[in-house]
Structure formats: structure tokens, C-alpha cells
Structure 1
Amino acid sequence: MPEHPAVELTVDAVLAPLLPARARRAARLRVRHEEHATAGHVVQAAGVPLTEVGPLTVDGAPASPGDRLPPGAALHAGAVSRPEAVPAGGFLLDVHLGSLARRMRLLGLDAAWSAHADDPDLVVRARAEDRVLLTADRGLLMRRALPRGALVAGAGADEQLTDVLDRFRPALAPLTRCTACSAPLRTAAKEEVAAGLPEGTRRSCEEFSRCTGCGRVYWRGAHAARIDDLVRRSTPPPG
């Protein structure tokens, strides 16, 4: 019985962990050729979202995700180039990345997040607000209506933050955004906020900020040293 025509997909090493387990070591996967399949379809069917893919080649020639593949084609997917530009609207994080969102806000990044947003809500908001969606959900990144997305790597929020900062290299402005809602902070006079402060804070603190969105008040408190350490670890050295 004759073999079905096939396409051979290879990927850069950084993308290999996204392939089926049997193909990860070689970063190579042989797949059945489908007449109407495009380069993008083959890559995503192998488990690699196009958000993670940079240059594509077919038989050594530059290709686009929408290109049809001839039988026997050799398709290669390179990794997306870093750093990527951040869209004008900033970042949007899925429901599982709340801790990462808080860290990003501490660094002054516009990081929208809601504990109640489902996948369709996230796609709509990403489009409406020109945001890049950060998620560890490959299926979410493969939604056609999603304009920009990025797969977040890391076992916890600290590793995830390192990955995001490396991928986008955004300009940081630590302690300028609300950790609760991401709106900018403004300096607030002590007498303006004194009524809502704990007694000990009124006695010991003189400098305050207030969120321009939700009104939350900030001052240097018990967690200041840990926040300073996060800022120090995340801020690139000058020059």
C-alpha cells in the first residue's frame, strides 16, 4: 500500500517543548499532507501557537502562515524574535496570572487582569484595547480573533516575570501604578488621606500616593523591603 504524502515540520530548539513528546528531542515531526492545509495550520496543529513563531520557510524559501504546502514539503518554524514591541494598550493577562499581574503593576506596567474574564472576554478586550494577551494556555493563543498574544513560560510568578521582561523589554516605572487596578498613582498630601489611615501609619509615614482609578492609598509599609528587592532584580543596570 503506498504511503500517504507527508510534510516534514522542523522547529527551532526553543519551540521543541511545544511539540508532541515523541518529536521534542529531534525538534522534528512528520505529518500527513492535507490538500488544503496551510503552513500556519500545520504549525498550530503540532501544538505551536503562531504567536511563538517568527520566520517560516518552505523548502528553504521564506513563507507565510497562509501559504499552501506541496506534498513532501519541508516546513521550518523559527522562534519569534526578542524583544517584541508592546502595543499601545499594554498587557492583558488571563485569569491564572493574577500574581504575575501584580508584579508587573509594581514595576509600572499597564497590566489588565480580571479574576472573572473568560476566554471570549479576553479576546474581545485584547482587540478593543490594543493589548497583548499573556497566557500559558496554548489553545487560547490559537484563537483566530486574537490580535496579539504571548505564551508565558515559568513555574511561578517570578519566573514568569523574568520571561515577560526578556520577551518585551518594556520600559519600567516602578511604584507608579495601582496593584489592584493598574491605574496610575499620583502623589497625595497626608491631610488628604489621613482619615482612612491606620493610627500607626499616621504617626510614622509622611509620603503617600493615591490611585487615580480606584482611590486606593499607598505608603511604604511592612512589605517595602520585598518590593524594593523585586524592583532591584527586575530593573536592568544603567547603560
Structure 2
Amino acid sequence: MNAGEITIDFAPEQDLFIAAARRGGRSTVRIDGVSTLGHLVEALGVPLTEVGALLVDGRAVIPAHVPIAGQAISVLAVTRPQRRAEPLRFLLDIHLGTLARRLRLLGIDAAYENPDIGDAALATRSATERRVLLSRDRGLLRRREIFAGAYVYSHRPDDQLDDVLSRFAPRLAPWTRCTACNGALRAADKESMRGQLPGSTEQTYDTFAQCVECGQAYWKGAHHARLDEIVANAEAKFGA
């Protein structure tokens, strides 16, 4: 069905998702008089998780709006920081394991599914636990049942972390979560750790922490300098 045409322009931040011919200005799109604006935007490639607002002739509308011929549509980018009501909790897909561990290092609640449980189960967990789903899979982010979602724009873990922290501005509480399972950490004395530590660790170190969920032990070992650097960079950029 041809119900006429509308004009539509996307924010530069959304160029990644759309065809080159629609970038950098307004383009014409045919409509059927039935499909919603949200459906149209996603059909053109942009997940609604990456839309800050939809304007029709300068007026904000909801994704359920059905456009009519002659309307001018503007698809705005997400405003950063994108504040959400606390508690802010994340769910990451199988491809974002390093990002999950870094978020946990900063004390951010970051559930991670490994092995892959499939898109349907991820979406259901997002909805059930009210977690923001982080993914580089546009199709997954278009699933209607997710609670909320966000596209992770980079392949590089450093940039991924900056992306999530700048977008959501979560409260940072470094060294309070287990990077292995996302559980809470508690201080542990050397006596309580006897028999649980590898090699000469028990003789070399005096300060420990332990996960209350999985029992994983933590101490300031050789890898700690790199973790300190990640924490320091995050606090310097986003700690406020």
C-alpha cells in the first residue's frame, strides 16, 4: 500500500546503522499508512534503543505514532548521560566478556551470559531482572521484550568501557564486586584463606578479599597495576 511519502533525517551518531544514501541530510521514504514510526525507524536500520527522541514537524511523538504523507521526521540521538532510575543493572551478551569484567571491577552490577543462552533467553532475563541489555547485535536490541538496551559501538574494551560509563553515568564503587561471577566482595584475613591460595601467595601477601557467592579469592598480585590503571582512568573521567 502506498500512502504517500515523508521526509526523514537521522542524527550523525546513527550513521552506523543506516544506508549511506540516507546519511547527512533528509531523505524521502514511502509509507503505507499503517506502520508505526518506531517500526519504520527500525526497518531503516536504527534500533529504538539508540533513539533519544522522535520529532514530527518539530513535535515530539512516541514510537507508536503512525506517520502521514508530508510529515517531516527527525530521529534524534540518545542524550548523554542517559539517566535511569536506580538500581542501574546491566546484562551483557556472550561477546562482551571483557567489558563485563571491567564493569564489575568498578563495582557495577553486570550480569554476563557465558555460554551463549540465545537471544530469546537474554531478552527474557533483561525483562525479568530489569537489566539494561548491552550488545553489539542490532537484532537482539530490536526485541520488544527487553527491559532496556544499548548498542556498544566499539570492538575495543577500553572504548567500550568509556562508552557505557559516559552513556549511563553509573555510580562507581571499585573493588567491591567479583569479576568472575558479579557477587559482592568481603574482606578476608589470612587465616580464613589458608589452603585456598596458590603457591606462595599465602606467605607473600597479607590483605585479601573473597567473593561471598563463588568464594573466589583476591589479592594485590602482579596483575594489580593494570587493574589499578583501569580504575584510575575511569574515576578520573567519570567518578564525579
TM-score band, normalised by the shorter chain? Answer: over 0.9
Q: Does 1:63 align with 2:61?
A: yes
Aligned alpha-carbon RMSD (Å):
1.7
Partner Cα distance (1:176, 1:29) in 2? 49
Q: Tell me how far 1:199 sits from its aligned partner.
A: 3.4
What is the match of residue 13 of structure 1?
A: 12
The normalised TM-score by structure 1 is 0.93
* Aligned-partner Cα distance in 2 for 1:130–1:212: 23
Q: TM-score, normalised by structure 2?
A: 0.93
Deviations 1:58-104 (A, max 9, x none): 12222111011111221111111211234526110011101110111
Measure, in 1, the Cα distance between the counterparts of 2:59 and 2:174. 44
Percent of residue pairs bearing the same amino acid type: 44
Is there any run of 5+ residues in structure 1 with no aligned partner, and where? none
CA distance in 2, matches of 1:10, 1:185: 48
Partner of 2:214: 214
Work out which of the residue numbers 8, 32, 35 in structure 2 matches 1:34.
Answer: 32
Q: Secondary structure at the match of 1:187?
A: strand
Give the letter aligned to residue 155 of structure 1. Answer: H
Name the residue aligned to 2:128. 128
Aligned to 1:113: 112
Check conservation: 2:3, 2:68, Cα contact below 8 A.
no
Q: CA deviation at 1:27?
A: 4.3
Distance 2:97 2:25 in 1: 32
Deviation at 1:156, TM superposition (A): 1.2
Question: What secondary structure is seen at the aligned counterpart in 2 of 1:236?
Answer: helix
Aligned-partner Cα distance in 2 for 1:210–1:175: 11
Query: 1:180 maps to which residue?
Result: 180
Indicate the residue corresponding to 2:162 in structure 1. 162
Which residue number in structure 1 is paired with residue 79 of structure 2? Answer: 81
Residue 110 of structure 1: CA displacement?
Answer: 0.7
Give, as a single letter, the amino acid of the residue that structure 2 aligns with 1:205. Y
Q: Post-superposition shift, 1:183?
A: 0.6
The secondary structure found in structure 2 opposite 1:143 is: coil
The aligned counterpart of 2:93 is: 94
Question: Residue 196 of structure 1 aligns to a residue in which SS?
Answer: coil
Please give the secondary structure, in 2, of the residue aligned with 1:209: strand
**Alignment gaps of 5+ in structure 2:** none
In 2, distance between residues paired with 1:166 and 1:107? 14
**Distance in 1 of aligned mates of 2:88 and 2:77:** 24
Deviation at 1:28, TM superposition (A): 3.5
Displacement over 6 Å in runs of 4+? none
Q: Give the whole-Å Cα distance in 2 for the aligned partners of 1:233 and 1:89.
A: 21
Measure, in 2, the Cα distance between the counterparts of 1:4 and 1:34: 5
